[in-house]
Structures are given as C-alpha cells and as structure tokens.
Amino acid sequence: MATQLTWLGHGTWLVETTGYRVLLDPFLDENPAAPCKAADVQADFILVSHGHFDHTADVESIARRCDALVIATFEVCEWFAKRGLRTHAQNIGGACRHPFGRVKLTIAHHSSTMPDGAPGGDPAGFLLELPEGRVYFACDTGLFGDMQGIGRGGLALAVLPIGDTYTMGPEDALEAVKLLAPRRVVPAHYNTWPPIAQDAQAWAQRVRGQTPAEPIVLAPGEKLLL
Ligand code: NI
Ligand code: MN
C-alpha cells in the first residue's frame, strides 16, 4: 500500500507506511486546530523533533497506550525514558534504519526546552527514506542555507513551517523551497493560534509561480498519498 500522510494540525503528522504508523510531534488534546484527540490515534513509532509542549504534549499518553517507540535526540529520549517510555536516541546527522524506513536527524535552528523546563538538547528535523522517496520534515526551524544539502539526492516531499513568529514565515519558507527543490511541498505550523495565522493558499500561489515544486495545502485531518 502507498505511503499515506495525514496532517493532524500544527506540527503533527501521521505517516502510514509499509504497515507501520509513525506519528510526528503529537499535539492534539490542547490544539484548537486538531481534527481528533490523542485517544483516537494509534502509533507504532513516535518521532519527536524537540521539547516544546506543542510538539510533545501527547507523546506520553499515546506512547504508553500503544507501546510506541519514541525516536528523538538523546536529551528528549532521556526525558521520556525517565517517564517509563521506550526510546531510541539519535542525534543530528545520524541516520538509523527502522522497520518502516531510514530516519536521519537534521539540523533545525530553534530552541528545545522540555515542558518542565529541563533542557531538551538541540532541536531537530527529520529526513525519512520511504519506499516512494525521501520526505523531509523541517519541523520548527528558521531558514538555513544547508537546506540545499538536505535536498541533494531528491525529495519526494518537503513539509515546511510557514507560521512565522516562532519558525520560518512565508517569505523564508519560499526560499527554503528553492534550496530544497522538492517535488511537492506542504505547509504546516500555521493557523493554530492568531500569532501564526497565515494565508496558505496565497503562499502556494507564490511557490507555484517561482519554483517547479507542487504546493499542496491540506486542512487538518486531510491525507496525502506519497
Ligand atoms: Ni518549538
Ligand atoms: Mn512549535
């Protein structure tokens, strides 16, 4: 079956691939834009990009209920391991083959405090190698020139924040598309709250006009076939 990505609002994604459910940055119960609650989601693996509550809030409840393996940086894994979760630590630049595909942690320019104030190490993005191609989740980051290197070798899809204020905004995300040169690009991390309100359709128009990438704007709960 083809790999399917579902946007669960904000930075939360469900990737269903090769029979596994891989959840990214679950933030559902307290997310005003989420299409479902944490209790509605099943996961075999949970990728966590950094410690902020809007990326970690529902990790513990879902991982516990589903016995999911948490994949993140060392510091984020230590924090969840202390709470009794199964974890697999990697770090920036490190790749590892998991049952659903290869996962590499990429740099992200952001911060990473855990919800209780503990330091969460460096924030990360994720580069996944899936049967249909490589998928890059920038997660929370500002624009950086090394995105060109991440795009080298080809990207089937890039998922970029466009919310501004806390991450790249529309202008810089457009530059990111030029550096990454993905086949398709999806915006995320916007419209959850007023400070990150954005017109995603207007951004998609600019992507279409200025790059060869195909922009795809999803509503929370919508799916994309890879
Ligand atoms: Ni953040
Ligand atoms: Mn965030």
| Six token digits for residue 57 | 């809030």
Distance, CA of 180 to CA of 188 (rounded, Å): 16
The 10s digit of each residue's pLDDT in 33-91 is: 999 999 999 999 999 999 999 999 999 999 999 999 999 999 999 999 999 999 999 99
**Cα 141 to averaged position of ligand 1 atoms, centre (Å):** 8
The band of 124, judged by pLDDT with boundaries at 50, 70 and 90, is: very high
**Cα 137 to averaged position of ligand 1 atoms, centre (Å):** 13
| Six token digits for residue 78 | 């230590």
**Cα 155 to averaged position of ligand 1 atoms, centre (Å):** 24
Distance, CA of 65 to CA of 75 (rounded, Å): 22
**Cα 2 to averaged position of ligand 1 atoms, centre (Å):** 30
Secondary structure, 3-state, 21-53: EEEECCCCCCCCCCCCCHHHCCCCEEECCCCCH
The 10s digit of each residue's pLDDT in 162-195 is: 999 999 999 999 999 999 999 999 999 999 999 9
The pTM for the full model equals 0.97
84: DSSP letter:
T
**Cα 112 to averaged position of ligand 1 atoms, centre (Å):** 7
